[in-house]
């Protein structure tokens, strides 16, 4: 290696090193800091008797919306209300007894299964537990 | 005695050499033929961008980018600030018209095959500007923090998350976390008022310099034509277009002021009849129609990959259309352009005419 090449490599390498040392903190700064996952494992969703048959209630489960439904037969079921297609929040439709996502017309039955539309997966189901006068919803183990 | 104008000119001339710029503009010729009407749309884009810049600067005075105050500040602008409704309506309407005019400009350039050498980089910078202005629209849409924009952002960012390999990291980056939240609003604001304008000004600068140095492209088969000088003839005609657009924007804003909509509630159901801004509706309706699975691949992933591939083909068309590069007609690329245009028009129309499609 002659002196010119050495100087070029040395100066070029130093310049590259300087650029990287400036860019690295900027890139790390731009990436959002990891936040602790919501600790919600079990949540009080409603009171017994709050939901009439064939009606539903949206509630906050951790950082996402969830839905508790009282079926026409009086069964309590809970699901994540986040549509598995593209993240919209589903709504309960009493007349059809289904969950409907208005974003791309996805429809789920009351077991969370896809009936029609583009959602690729069923709604995530949660456990429902009645304790005294309270209805608790928890993630399935 | 020299007038004030002449004195000012005499002062500025040795410092800025303005006459050199003026001489260049006078010497620069613009061909005039039966299709030269389409040349004006680029200038209209620039004019609308300037309106966006000015009204955006004005809105910054009262807008607050936080979940608790964003919607309230927009309502304050609309109802309390004098002419706030006008400034915000001009900003929102112009944004929509600008995207429309960019599409017209792009498709007219495409069909006139103005992308052929040596204007490949003009085309590519123009394509990047289209992407930038779609990003402007997408990021600006969330800022009032209303329910439509909240859910549109959830869908839009989820689409970004589907992109293979980089999607998830990109989604977290633009959302500022796993969900659309206050961090997302801050990031979108940062993108909308700082990052995107910086890139837009830079790329627009390159685009305009290329247009100025290379001159206007003549369509294939158009021989010797009459020419007019860029300054003042073409600029005067251009400014007529700007005035017409300004009148249209003014009239629309007075009769149809832009609404603030109800405030977003992240834990409420998505409202019925939700749809994104009109320029994203062709993708929105496609996603409604694509089945959940095509073979073993998720339908949405396939659709999104299709859009990305389509975008890539459009961006690289100067290098793909070899016939046009040799100044020969290239009907295949005209047909491809027509197919893309028709697809966008039909899907956009279906969004509004058949909202329950796929239900």
A86 — contact with chain B (CB < 8 Å)?
Answer: yes
Residue B179 contacts residue A64 (beta carbons within 8 Å):
yes
- Hey, what are B78's tokens? 């609309």
My answer on whether A57 and A108 are in the same domain is yes
Q: Which residues 5-24 of chain A have a CB within 8 Å of chain B?
A: none
My answer on whether A11 and A56 are in the same domain is no
In 3D, which of B80, B36, B41 has the Cα closest to residue B62? B80
The pLDDT-based confidence of A36 (bands split at 50, 70, 90) is low
- Hey, what are B138's tokens? 């997408």
My answer on whether A116 and A86 are in the same domain is yes
- Hey, what are B66's tokens? 């936080």
My answer on whether A29 and A57 are in the same domain is no
ipTM above 0.85, yes or no: no
Give how many domains chain A has, as a whole number: 2
Calculate the alpha carbon distances from B193 to A31, A131, B54, B59, B179 in Å: 19, 51, 12, 11, 22
Whether A22 has a pLDDT exceeding 70, the answer reads yes
**What domains can be seen in chain B, in order of their start residue?**
33-272 (1.20.810.10)
Smallest Cβ–Cβ distance between B290 and the set A59, A88, A118 belongs to A118
pLDDT at B222: 84
Instruction: Estimate the share of chain A in helix, then strand, then coil, as percent rounded to the nearest 5.
Output: 20, 35, 45
Q: Which of B9-23, B93-107, B168-182, B258-272 has the highest mean pLDDT?
A: B93-107
My answer on whether A5 and A26 are in the same domain is yes
My answer on whether A60 and A127 are in the same domain is yes
Residue B112: φ, ψ to 5°: -85, -5
B271 — contact with chain A (CB < 8 Å)?
Answer: yes
Q: Which of B292, B304, B350, B355 to mutate to test the interface with A (most CBs of A within 10 A)?
A: B292
pLDDT at B292: 80
Partnered with residue A43 across adjacent β-strands are A137
- Angle in degrees, 0-180, between the axes of helices B299-315 and B147-162, rounded to the nearest 10: 80
My answer on whether A57 and A117 are in the same domain is yes
My answer on whether A59 and A99 are in the same domain is yes
My answer on whether A13 and A58 are in the same domain is no
Residue B83, class by beta-carbon neighbours within 10 Å (0-12 exposed, 13-18 middle, 19+ buried)? exposed
3-state DSSP assignment of residue B183:
helix
Specify the DSSP class assigned to residue B194: I
Residue B25, class by beta-carbon neighbours within 10 Å (0-12 exposed, 13-18 middle, 19+ buried)? middle
List CB contacts (< 8 A) between A45 and chain B.
none
Give the C-alpha separation, B143 to B336, whole Å.
Answer: 36
Domain extent, residue A65, equals 42-138
- pLDDT, tens only, B300-358: 888 999 999 999 999 999 999 999 999 999 999 999 999 999 999 999 999 999 887 76
Whether B161 has a pLDDT exceeding 90, the answer reads no
Q: What is the pTM of this model?
A: 0.89
Number of C-beta neighbours around residue B345 at 10 A: 11
- Hey, what are B99's tokens? 């995207």
Give the C-alpha separation, B159 to B151, whole Å.
Answer: 12
Smallest Cβ–Cβ distance between A105 and the set B177, B178, B359 belongs to B359
Residue B106 contacts residue B124 (beta carbons within 8 Å):
no
Q: Which run of H or E residues covers position B297? A: strand B297-298
Residue B55 contacts residue B91 (beta carbons within 8 Å):
yes
My answer on whether A126 and A103 are in the same domain is yes
Whether A136 has a pLDDT exceeding 90, the answer reads yes
Average pLDDT (B283-299) is 86
A104 — contact with chain B (CB < 8 Å)?
Answer: yes
Partnered with residue B227 across adjacent β-strands are B31
pLDDT at B202: 98
Give the C-alpha separation, B291 to B298, whole Å.
Answer: 8
Give the C-alpha separation, A56 to A65, whole Å.
Answer: 13
B167 — contact with chain A (CB < 8 Å)?
Answer: no
- pLDDT, tens only, B17-69: 888 888 988 888 888 888 889 999 999 999 999 999 999 999 999 999 999 99
- Hey, what are B163's tokens? 């992109």
A89 — contact with chain B (CB < 8 Å)?
Answer: yes
Count helices and strands in chain A by DSSP H and E runs: 1, 10
Partnered with residue A135 across adjacent β-strands are A46, A130
Residue B271 contacts residue B355 (beta carbons within 8 Å):
no
> Strand order of the sheet with strand A106-108?
A91-93, A98-101, A106-108, A114-116
Q: What is the mean pLDDT of chain B?
A: 93
Smallest Cβ–Cβ distance between A35 and the set B177, B291, B358 belongs to B177
Can you give the CATH number for the domain in which A59 is found? Answer: 2.102.10.10
The pLDDT-based confidence of B165 (bands split at 50, 70, 90) is confident
My answer on whether A46 and A23 are in the same domain is no
A58 — contact with chain B (CB < 8 Å)?
Answer: yes
Whether A75 has a pLDDT exceeding 80, the answer reads yes
Residue of A nearest to B283 (CA): A104
Residue B17: φ, ψ to 5°: 50, 50
My answer on whether A125 and A90 are in the same domain is yes
Partnered with residue A125 across adjacent β-strands are A79
Partnered with residue A91 across adjacent β-strands are A100
A62 — contact with chain B (CB < 8 Å)?
Answer: no
Smallest Cβ–Cβ distance between A58 and the set B175, B267, B300 belongs to B267
């Amino acid at each position: 290696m002659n002196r010119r090449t050495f100087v070029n490599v040395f100066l070029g390498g130093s310049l590259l090193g300087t650029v990287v040392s400036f860019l690295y903190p900027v890139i790390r700064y731009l990436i959002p800091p990891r936040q602790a996952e919501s600790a919600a494992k079990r949540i009080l969703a409603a009171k017994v008797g709050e939901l009439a048959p064939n009606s539903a209630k949206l509630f906050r489960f951790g950082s996402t919306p969830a839905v508790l439904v009282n079926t026409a037969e009086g069964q309590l079921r809970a699901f994540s209300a986040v549509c598995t297609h593209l993240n919209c929040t589903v709504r309960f439709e009493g007349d059809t007894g289904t969950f409907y996502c208005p974003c791309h017309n996805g429809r789920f039955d009351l077991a969370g299964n896809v009936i029609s539309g583009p959602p690729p997966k069923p709604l995530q189901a949660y456990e429902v537990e009645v304790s005294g006068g309270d209805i608790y919803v928890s993630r399935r183990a | 005695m020299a007038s004030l104008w002449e004195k000012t000119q005499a002062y500025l001339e040795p410092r800025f050499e303005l006459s050199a710029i003026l001489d260049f503009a006078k010497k620069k010729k613009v061909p005039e033929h039966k299709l030269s009407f389409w040349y004006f749309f680029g200038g209209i884009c620039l004019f609308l961008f300037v309106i966006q810049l000015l009204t955006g600067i004005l809105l910054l005075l009262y807008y607050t980018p936080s979940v608790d105050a964003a919607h309230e500040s927009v309502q304050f602008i609309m109802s309390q600030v004098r002419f706030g409704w006008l400034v915000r309506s001009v900003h929102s309407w112009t944004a929509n018209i600008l995207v429309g005019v960019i599409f017209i400009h792009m498709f007219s350039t495409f069909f006139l095959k103005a992308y052929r050498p040596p204007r490949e980089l003009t085309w590519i910078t123009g394509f990047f500007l289209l992407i930038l202005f779609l990003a402007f629209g997408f990021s600006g849409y969330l800022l009032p923090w209303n329910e439509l924009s909240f859910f549109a952002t959830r869908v839009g960012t989820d689409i970004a998350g589907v992109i293979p390999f980089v999607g998830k990291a990109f989604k977290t980056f633009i959302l500022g976390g796993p969900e659309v939240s206050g961090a997302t609003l801050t990031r979108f604001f940062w993108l909308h008022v700082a990052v995107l304008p910086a890139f837009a000004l830079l790329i627009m600068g390159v685009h305009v310099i290329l247009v100025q140095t290379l001159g206007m492209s003549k369509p294939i088969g158009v021989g010797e034509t009459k020419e007019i000088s860029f300054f003042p003839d073409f600029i005067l005609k251009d400014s007529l277009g700007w005035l017409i657009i300004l009148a249209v924007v003014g009239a629309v804003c007075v009769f149809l002021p832009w609404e603030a909509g109800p405030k977003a509630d992240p834990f409420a159901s998505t409202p019925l009849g939700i749809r994104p801004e009109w320029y994203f509706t062709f993708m929105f309706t496609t996603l409604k129609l694509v089945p959940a699975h095509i073979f073993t691949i998720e339908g949405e992933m396939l659709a999104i990959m299709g859009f990305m591939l389509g975008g890539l083909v459009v961006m690289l068309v100067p290098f793909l259309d070899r016939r046009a590069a040799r100044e020969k007609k290239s009907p295949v690329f005209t047909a491809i352009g027509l197919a893309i245009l028709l697809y966008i028009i039909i899907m956009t129309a279906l969004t509004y005419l058949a909202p329950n499609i796929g239900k």
